[in-house]
Structure 1
């Protein structure tokens, strides 16, 4: 399943009182595994930024003055998200800002059931524990070396790693749980897309001929021959 892990930086806490988005970072994941595709942009909020917010994000009005307006990046953002589920930490906050910006432009807003909240998942998984992004990174031994300030793309990349751990960790990718078992108990595995560019064979013609001769010596019941006929 394709999902978009994302984060926003803003001028404040309330989109209903004039606060705006200043940075947007998105990471594509498929079956909770990052694909390497990202979307990132700074946004000119067309307003001042409080000192306490600058101390957290490092983003000043001067730095953002020549950055695109949200209306200039909206179509690219919507295209990147597509019909994917949106994953955020404290999702109601990010949903409120994204929907405010979309509504200002006359775009349909994202409904609540389109979002997954990793903070809520973490609270259910670790009741009574701190579930900030920093705390979860430390719990899962995810390096915070790249995070000297809050940044939307950096935080989205970290959150993608946290989300993977919250949903089963990297062993999930092996999918050995049998949850794809059919009614008769046979386990099937989802097909993976072929490589865009097939790998070049490193087997020489001589090695192929030697292998074929060896298989012939094993007779018609050789496993290699049976598998080649499947």
Structure 2
């Protein structure tokens, strides 16, 4: 894989307040450049949700209402998040979820394309029992020692870094960017290859 052929791409991860649809409580966006996660230009934001964080959600990511009480509201940081994402490609684990929530929070934003490490893992490592982020970390054993932020699972900065390392590891199984896109972009999301035309009888 020639990583220099990649378009601008950021690996993203979000954490929510546990409601449906969720309010965001944390967003991370980590650029991948020259086959490496670029933590020096990454973005990470905590935000106080409109509705309280549920006990279940707080138990997963540890971001309680008390912890978020003095953080800015979404409207205060939305332009910053939008500016960093721009029109780059994004990548996330179970990407349609992150894409849908980000679109709801950033109605004027659309990425060039959306890579899904879950979809990519199923194509790259067929036969695994599970394809959760934890299962893939166990299988691939990426180096996560330089992960930014609090350094724990279910925090957006750590999960974005882990997904970036998994993406880079899996990308080495493909010769070209187009092959990676064909394996990693879910149908119906931006960047999905056009379906091949059906042959005609005339």
TM-score in terms of structure 1 length: 0.65
Deviations along 1:46-90, one digit per CA (max 9) or x if unpaired, are: 211111111100011111111111111111111111221010100
Give the match for residue 8 of structure 1: 14
Give the match for residue 197 of structure 2: none
Q: 1:29 to 1:66 in 2, by over 3 A?
A: same
SS at match of 2:38: strand
What is the 5 A alignment of 1:195-214? none
Give the match for residue 131 of structure 1: 131
Deviations along 1:24-64, one digit per CA (max 9) or x if unpaired, are: 01111124422332100101102111111111000111111
Deviation at 1:147, TM superposition (A): 4.8
Distance in structure 2 (CA, Å) of the matches to 1:159 and 1:147: 13
Q: 1:24 aligns with which of 20, 23, 27?
A: 27
- 8 Å CA contact 1:32–1:163 kept in 2: the answer is no
TM-score in terms of structure 2 length: 0.73
Q: 2:162 aligns with which of 158, 163, 177?
A: 158
- Bigger radius of gyration: 1
Deviation at 1:149, TM superposition (A): 4.1
Distance in structure 1 (CA, Å) of the matches to 2:117 and 2:152: 22
Q: 1:92 to 1:13 in 2, by over 3 A?
A: farther
Deviations along 1:142-186, one digit per CA (max 9) or x if unpaired, are: 2567754410011101111111001017xx9xxxx7x7xxxxxxx
Q: 1:102 aligns with which of 106, 115, 121?
A: 106
Distance in structure 1 (CA, Å) of the matches to 2:49 and 2:142: 32
Deviations along 1:83-131, one digit per CA (max 9) or x if unpaired, are: 210101001111111111123xxxx1426x6211110111111223211
Distance in structure 2 (CA, Å) of the matches to 1:114 and 1:149: 26
Moved over 3 A (4+): 143-149
Distance in structure 2 (CA, Å) of the matches to 1:32 and 1:83: 20
Distance in structure 2 (CA, Å) of the matches to 1:152 and 1:124: 25
Distance in structure 1 (CA, Å) of the matches to 2:114 and 2:24: 18
Give the match for residue 117 of structure 2: 118
Distance in structure 2 (CA, Å) of the matches to 1:86 and 1:32: 15
- 8 Å CA contact 2:36–2:168 kept in 1: the answer is yes
- 8 Å CA contact 2:82–2:109 kept in 1: the answer is no
RMSD: 2.3
Question: Which structure carries more relative contact order (alpha carbon 8 Å, separation 6+)?
Answer: 2
Q: 1:76 to 1:148 in 2, by over 3 A?
A: closer
